[in-house]
Each structure stands twice: as C-alpha cells, then as structure tokens.
C-alpha cells in the first residue's frame, strides 16, 4: 500500500446575517470542511471516472471499497480538509488522489457559488461581497516513496508477541490440568 496526502483549502465568502445582509467583516468557509468530509463518506458520490482512476470497478463493492481507502481530517479550524488515500501502487494512488481532489474542489466551488448567488439576491447591497475565494490545493500531492503497509518488522514483532502470549497460556493451562489431575 502506498499513501497520498494533500490538503484542500475550502472556499470562503462573507457571512450573511439573520436579516439577509452581507457581513463584510466576517469571512467563513462555504462549504465547511465537515460538509466536504461527508461527501467522501458516501459511496454514491464518486463518479465512474474517479473509481476507474482508483483502479476500482463501478459496482456497489467498488464504491464501498473506495470509502475505506480514504481518510480525511478537518484542519485549520474547519477551513481546510486533509485527505489521505491508501491504495496498492504508487501510480494508482497518485491518479486516485488527483481525481478525488477534482471532485472535492468542484463540489466545494459549486456550493460556494450557490451561496454567493443567494447572498447577492438576498442582500439589498450586493456590492458588499468582498470575499469570493475558490477552493485550492495548499501544497502539491505527496505520495510516499516506500510502501506504508504492511510494515514487515511490525508484523514480525506482533507475531512473536502473540506467540509468546500463546505459549504462556498453553503452559498455564498445562499446569492447571496437571494440578487438577493430582487432586482427583
């Protein structure tokens, strides 16, 4: 398994007051990173092209599988989303990360454009919309140089530890059985 890691800065715009007026001094992410994270948790949101880029088939199993390969974390006070993709093969993981990046930025920019359009229609002074920033990648997609899973030495250490515990358990059971047979 190889790992690709990137951070997307969510689009931002001015906030809207409860009266429908644009608040020029308050800037907020639209949509929030939590909304974008929810998009990654739903298998039906992934296009055929994204599934193909990730080396998966366009089936229910493939759609559920892609959700398991993606991990996301909200960073920078809900203004950014860190996405980690783990797949076999460094080229596949890079292509998959590119496709996911395109999907998230398209979704986020569309949501922000809808919000700005609503704000301009709802506000009596639409020229106050000072901030109208699209989503963007904060740094290039980083792909691991080496395999990140399975870790050979961790696997060996775990097997040795389980073997020692199992050996102690068998020895303890042998002693208990021997004591029970001597009592009877």
| pTM across the whole model | 0.78
Whole-angstrom Cα distance, residue 155 to residue 157?
6
- Residue-wise pLDDT for 82-103, tens only, equals 999 999 988 999 999 999 999 9
Find the angle CA(168)-CA(173)-CA(177) to the nearest 5 degrees: 150
- Residue 126 pLDDT > 60, yes or no? no
Stated as kind and residue range, the H or E segment containing 81 is strand 80-87
Instruction: Identify the pLDDT of residue 19.
Output: 79
On the CB side of 75, CA atoms within 13 Å amount to 13
Dihedrals φ, ψ of 58, to 5°?
-85, 70
More confident residue, 113 or 121: 113
Report whether 153 contacts 161 (CB < 8 A): no
> 3-state DSSP: the chain helix, strand, coil percent, rounded to 5?
50, 20, 25
Q: Which two tokens stand for residue 124?
A: 């009596």
- Residue-wise pLDDT for 8-19, tens only, equals 999 999 888 887
Residue length, the chain? 184
């Amino acid at each position: 398994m190889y790992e690709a890691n990137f951070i997307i800065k969510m689009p931002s715009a001015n906030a809207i007051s409860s009266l429908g007026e644009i608040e020029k001094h308050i800037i907020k992410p639209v949509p929030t990173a939590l909304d974008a994270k929810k998009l990654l948790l739903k298998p039906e949101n992934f296009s055929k092209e994204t599934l193909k880029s990730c080396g998966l088939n366009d089936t229910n199993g493939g759609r559920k599988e892609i959700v398991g390969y993606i991990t996301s974390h909200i960073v920078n006070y809900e203004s950014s989303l860190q996405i980690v993709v783990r797949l076999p093969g460094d080229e596949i993981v890079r292509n998959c990360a590119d496709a996911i990046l395109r999907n998230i930025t398209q979704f986020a920019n569309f949501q922000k454009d809808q919000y700005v359009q609503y704000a301009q229609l709802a506000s009596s002074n639409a020229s106050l919309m000072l901030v109208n920033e699209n989503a963007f990648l904060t740094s290039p997609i980083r792909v691991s140089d080496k395999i990140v899973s399975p870790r050979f030495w961790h696997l060996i250490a775990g097997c040795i530890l389980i073997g020692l515990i199992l050996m102690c358990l068998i020895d303890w059971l042998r002693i208990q059985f021997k004591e029970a047979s001597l009592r009877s």
